[in-house]
Structure 1
Amino acid sequence: MESRPETSSDSKTARLDASGAQTYPATDRPRAVTVPGETFLNLTEAVRCLAAARPDHLALIDGDQRLTWRDLGSLVGRVTARLRSHGLRRGTMVASLAENSAAHVAVYLGALGAGACMVPLPTGAHEAALGRMALNCDPALLFASINQSEVARRLGPSVVDLDDLETWLGEAIPDSQENDLPEPVGPDDLFDMIYSSGTTGTPKGILHDHRFRSRQVMRMANHGLNGDAICLMSTPLYSNTTLVAVLPVLAYGGTLVVMRKFETQGFLRLAERHRVSHAMLVPVQYRRILDDPDFGRFDLSAFRVKLSTSAPLPAATIRAALTRWPGKLIEIYGMTEGGISTMLDCAAHPDKLDTVGQPVAGAEVRILDSEERPLPPGEIGEVVGRSPTMMVGYHKSPESTAVILWRSPEGEDFLRTGDMGRLDADGFLTLLDRRKDMILSGGFNIYAADLEQVLLAHPDVAEAAVIAVPSHRWGETPLGLVALGAGATVSAEALRDWANAHLGKTQRLAAVEIRESLPRNAIGKVLKRELRAPYWLEATT
């Protein structure tokens, strides 16, 4: 077999195929569970077919803007043609830095239609982190909203104004039946890359191929996310949480209602006005919506299924939703990397509300002890999982990909979650503590180590630890605990403000407390459990 050249900037696993497209050979990827007799759903081909099959059905609602499937198909085709005229090839990366909008969705689909790998960058990240992400993915183009345009232009790539998409499209060859056809792609071709990264260190770009998304789309269609669905999108498009619900609706020809920025009254008004049937929300959104004093005034009777993920959904919130909000409530536990995948139909299992459900079809969950040996039901250890949806790997970081893999005695690849948990006799998974010092605030992952490094960069700080403390608004919020160096006089408030100026909007510290010292064990590790305990004890008493 003829060897293929590596790209100059890619990792050892990234190569170019004969057409010049970037590929990741199957032998270098985590091995997913096979699906016997599966069919492959090509999303961009589906969009083209839907434009012909149901031209007058509403595809997107964004404020006063309404796009039928004919409109959306035409717009996506024009984006595809314009990208091709820009010289994009299969596997090229195209990034976005923008809030939710109909144009953002169209660009996402159009980039896929051109065979590109879509990279939606997190608008809440600090500019320094965004710079590292841009360097890591090296996009051919960066689509930016007006709110993000200044930052986008400092990142380096060619920037396209997403709020003036028509001007950019006007430079393309007009609609043509030939140029707007989607690029032929296969299951192994790259689909998108989602970043799971904080402020410091090397960003980790999680690569998904078309097989991953095809399998995920078809699985979620089992929950009614199909051509009959009216789905309200209120979480950002750069989050895998959002894509889990949005992509199936687009693949099967449903209607997507776009919410640019979440707030409870706006969500309730849109849900009532458009007879919304489905929504993917994070737990803090459920609590805020249910706490809204006007919740009972809105007609939510069209809801069929509500989905929750990104953080544990408290049993009290589940019970309130089941009592007051029509439709099923499904809790999902998973990772952007794939592997672990469980679901809980809350109404069907009222005695299991403290769990995150059972593995989905084709998935397997195991619990490992400290020596990486599988444990029996009832025993606590690290949660690992395998499923039909497994990431390609971390972009340009085969070492990080290797770290997250656990190979079973049978030779099967599992992905480590970093979470501690146990399986009961019925196969339901209960999550306990986290091995990672990760804070889940408002549905976003915040890594304590990133915040600690920022605090330690202040000249007056000698020691720093960041922990999760309870927050009614966010579920959890980060608290900084620091010990100052000799002679230091900085106040806690000034230190918090200084650190937050160096952090992304979703990472900011709620407060900083100054301690004489931080508790450590015999080998010098900060005892975070000891630091957290008083705050969580107070919250439960």
Structure 2
Amino acid sequence: MAEAVRRQAAARPDRLAIVDADRRLSWQDLGRLVERVTARLRTEGIGRGTMVASLAENSAAHLAVYLGALGAGACVVPLPTGAHEAALRRMAQNCDPALLFASARQNEVAGRLGPPVVDLDALESWLDTDTPGLAESAEPEPVGPDDLFDMIYSSGTTGMPKGILHDHRFRSRQIMRMANYGLNGDAVCLMSTPLYSNTTLVAVLPVLAHGGTLVVMGKFETRGFLELAERHRVSHAMLVPVQYRRILDDADFDRFDLSAFRVKLSTSAPLPAATIRAALERWPGKLIEIYGMTEGGISTMLDCAAHPDKLDTVGRPVAGAEVRILDPQERPLPPGEVGEVVGRSPTMMVGYYKSPQSTAEMLWRSPEGEDFFRTGDMGRLDADGFLTLLDRRKDMILSGGFNIYAADLEQVLLVHPDVAEAAVIAVPSEQWGETPLGLVVLGTGAAVDAQVLCDWANARLGKTQRLSAVEIRPSLPRSAIGKVLKRELRAAYWAKAAT
């Protein structure tokens, strides 16, 4: 990756590499900055296999540190800025980085985590330190496919977040695959999700490797996204479903010129069919839905316009990938049957850092002796090989002996014209053990009664699926990358039942 940046800086020095607020870096500027970071890190004794962490918002400086650390041969560990300090402390203890780069906003917390902290907002001062030997070794450290590239921590909503290790083989294959969707040297990609998320890296790394242009948002907000997309003639963006909904709901969406868009990508959660249709109708360019994990293994894609009859699926396995559905005894199931989704692909993590047991638990070995990764998701394959996701295995509702999949119920609720967001969770029931409860956020100006909405949905659901009630909420708790935090939603109901 660092060598690719070096090549692009030499081949297209005057092309715009990064737009960050009012700052613009050409490829020549970015190449020089990355080399300076690499050289400075070497004076700190950082080389192959060393962990270098960051705790910062999106910025040109953050990207330069990420790339410069790779140039030194280090493994980059971008920590989640939205995590609780206690979780961040556990992550820092786990990866034990030689340095922690932190933005001004994160400096106070970073200073309590243990590693030596470098102020990312004073990067130039740190680079200009008069250190012997600083200019002697700016060339990237030679690395092989098995060398570590980065480590991304799982969300860690319960217990210790797991460090997901990627090597250069993983990232190189991913970069090559994503170039097929135009994430290359001609792309102008709008980066609006955080650097610590694999969602972001899937799009950002190919653009940087091939010499394209990144337009960087420090923090996502709808109007700013639309203004940047129009101003810079953005051609690509990787977004999560809640971002699509909010962008399309902007009152002035249709007045913005988005005609330069060639491809929009969506991942992290299934994209509702209604949102897909709205995007295809009103937003130029292709819409590609991706289903995958930070760990790799599972990898499917759906070209939404090409398969309008499959919008309730997440597509088919990409080239070189395979998906199987397992029954409770871990036996493969035929098309149409519901079970746990497992997958294998050319991109699979090295493992969970310092956690061989968790890595072993992640694996399912096929009768042919091939290793698949467990997803924890329930789903089914249709006769054409398209995958439909139904629920997280741990979120499945067991009511009166019947398995109820929240996704089926949520899909019905989202059809109602007054419903903007929906989440269905299991709550305690004396009669059934568990029963489904619908939690919804209404659209702007909507005022439907909760009981009326519940009756409307139940009239469209099977007898064993029916909602016990619907509650209207102002919002749903979400992770930084937009996933609904169902554990938080369930907690209050089960805590009350336990008292």
Partner of 2:431: none
Task: After superposition, give the CA deviation of every residue in 1:253-276 in whole Å (9 maximum; x if it has no partner).
Answer: 000000011110000000000000
SS in 1 for 2:65: helix
1:250 pairs with 208, 211, 228, which one?
208
Task: After superposition, give the CA deviation of every residue in 1:127-174 in whole Å (9 maximum; x if it has no partner).
Answer: 000000000000000000000000000000000000110011011659
Q: Following TM superposition, by how much is the alpha carbon of 1:179 offset from its aligned partner in structure 2, in angstroms?
A: 1.2
| Residue pair 2:268, 2:481 contacting (<8 A) in 1 also | no
SS in 1 for 2:112: helix
| Residue pair 1:343, 1:356 contacting (<8 A) in 2 also | yes
Partner of 1:91: 49
Q: Measured at CA, do residues 380 and 172 of structure 1 come closer, stay the same or move farther in structure 2, by a change above 3 Å? A: farther
SS in 2 for 1:154: coil
Distance 1:221 1:468 in 2: 40
2:116 corresponds to which letter in structure 1?
S
Q: Following TM superposition, by how much is the alpha carbon of 1:466 offset from its aligned partner in structure 2, in angstroms?
A: 13
Q: Following TM superposition, by how much is the alpha carbon of 1:516 offset from its aligned partner in structure 2, in angstroms?
A: 9.0
| Residue pair 1:97, 1:123 contacting (<8 A) in 2 also | yes
2:249 pairs with 291, 306, 313, which one?
291
Q: Following TM superposition, by how much is the alpha carbon of 1:470 offset from its aligned partner in structure 2, in angstroms?
A: 3.8
Partner of 2:345: 387
1:436 aligns with 2:388: no
Task: After superposition, give the CA deviation of every residue in 1:288-309 in whole Å (9 maximum; x if it has no partner).
Answer: 0000000011000000000000
Please list, as runs of the form range in 1=range in 2, the aligned pairs for 1:267-282 lying within 5 A after superposition. 267-282=225-240
| Residue pair 1:129, 1:199 contacting (<8 A) in 2 also | no
Please list, as runs of the form range in 1=range in 2, the aligned pairs for 1:147-158 lying within 5 A after superposition. 147-158=105-116
Q: Following TM superposition, by how much is the alpha carbon of 1:202 offset from its aligned partner in structure 2, in angstroms?
A: 2.1
Task: After superposition, give the CA deviation of every residue in 1:37-68 in whole Å (9 maximum; x if it has no partner).
Answer: xxxxxx11010011110000000000110000
1:160 pairs with 90, 94, 118, which one?
118
Distance 2:285 2:237 in 1: 11
| Residue pair 1:47, 1:250 contacting (<8 A) in 2 also | yes
Q: Measured at CA, do residues 180 and 378 of structure 1 come closer, stay the same or move farther in structure 2, by a change above 3 Å? A: same
CA RMSD of aligned residues (A): 2.8
TM norm structure 2: 0.82
SS in 2 for 1:216: helix
Partner of 1:324: 282
2:12 corresponds to which letter in structure 1?
R
1:44 aligns with 2:16: no
Q: Following TM superposition, by how much is the alpha carbon of 1:201 offset from its aligned partner in structure 2, in angstroms?
A: 2.1
SS in 2 for 1:155: coil
Partner of 2:299: 341
Partner of 2:380: 422
Q: Following TM superposition, by how much is the alpha carbon of 1:203 offset from its aligned partner in structure 2, in angstroms?
A: 2.0
Partner of 1:368: 326
Distance 2:211 2:372 in 1: 34
Q: Measured at CA, do residues 366 and 163 of structure 1 come closer, stay the same or move farther in structure 2, by a change above 3 Å? A: same
Partner of 1:133: 91
1:265 aligns with 2:217: no
Q: Following TM superposition, by how much is the alpha carbon of 1:236 offset from its aligned partner in structure 2, in angstroms?
A: 0.3
| Residue pair 2:341, 2:374 contacting (<8 A) in 1 also | yes
Please list, as runs of the form range in 1=range in 2, the aligned pairs for 1:150-189 lying within 5 A after superposition. 150-171=108-129, 178-189=136-147
Q: Measured at CA, do residues 177 and 400 of structure 1 come closer, stay the same or move farther in structure 2, by a change above 3 Å? A: same
| Residue pair 1:59, 1:69 contacting (<8 A) in 2 also | yes
Partner of 1:31: none
Distance 1:208 1:95 in 2: 15
Partner of 2:171: 213
Partner of 1:68: 26
1:363 corresponds to which letter in structure 2?
A
Please list, as runs of the form range in 1=range in 2, the aligned pairs for 1:459-478 lying within 5 A after superposition. 469-471=439-441
1:281 corresponds to which letter in structure 2?
L
Distance 1:518 1:209 in 2: 46
Q: Following TM superposition, by how much is the alpha carbon of 1:317 offset from its aligned partner in structure 2, in angstroms?
A: 0.1
Distance 2:495 2:160 in 1: 32
1:229 pairs with 170, 183, 187, which one?
187
1:55 corresponds to which letter in structure 2?
P
| Residue pair 2:18, 2:216 contacting (<8 A) in 1 also | yes
TM norm structure 1: 0.75
Distance 1:511 1:423 in 2: 29
Distance 1:92 1:368 in 2: 39
SS in 2 for 1:326: coil
Distance 1:217 1:129 in 2: 30
Distance 1:299 1:185 in 2: 43
Q: Following TM superposition, by how much is the alpha carbon of 1:504 offset from its aligned partner in structure 2, in angstroms?
A: 9.4
Q: Measured at CA, do residues 67 and 93 of structure 1 come closer, stay the same or move farther in structure 2, by a change above 3 Å? A: same
List runs of 5+ in structure 2 lacking aligned partners.
397-405, 408-422, 426-434, 444-476
SS in 2 for 1:389: coil
SS in 2 for 1:166: helix
List runs of 5+ in structure 1 lacking aligned partners.
1-42, 441-445, 449-464, 474-499, 520-541
Partner of 2:414: none
Distance 1:437 1:101 in 2: 36
Moved more, 86-95 or 317-326: 86-95
Q: Following TM superposition, by how much is the alpha carbon of 1:505 offset from its aligned partner in structure 2, in angstroms?
A: 11
What is the count of residue pairs matched by the alignment? 430
Q: Measured at CA, do residues 172 and 313 of structure 1 come closer, stay the same or move farther in structure 2, by a change above 3 Å? A: farther
2:357 corresponds to which letter in structure 1?
E
Q: Measured at CA, do residues 180 and 338 of structure 1 come closer, stay the same or move farther in structure 2, by a change above 3 Å? A: same
| Residue pair 1:125, 1:199 contacting (<8 A) in 2 also | no
1:381 corresponds to which letter in structure 2?
G
Distance 1:513 1:213 in 2: 40
Task: After superposition, give the CA deviation of every residue in 1:183-241 in whole Å (9 maximum; x if it has no partner).
Answer: 00000000000000325422200000000000000000000000000000000000000
Partner of 2:80: 122
Identify which of structures 1 and 2 has the higher relative contact order when contacts are C-alpha pairs closer than 8 Å and 6+ apart.
1
SS in 1 for 2:115: coil
Q: Measured at CA, do residues 514 and 242 of structure 1 come closer, stay the same or move farther in structure 2, by a change above 3 Å? A: closer
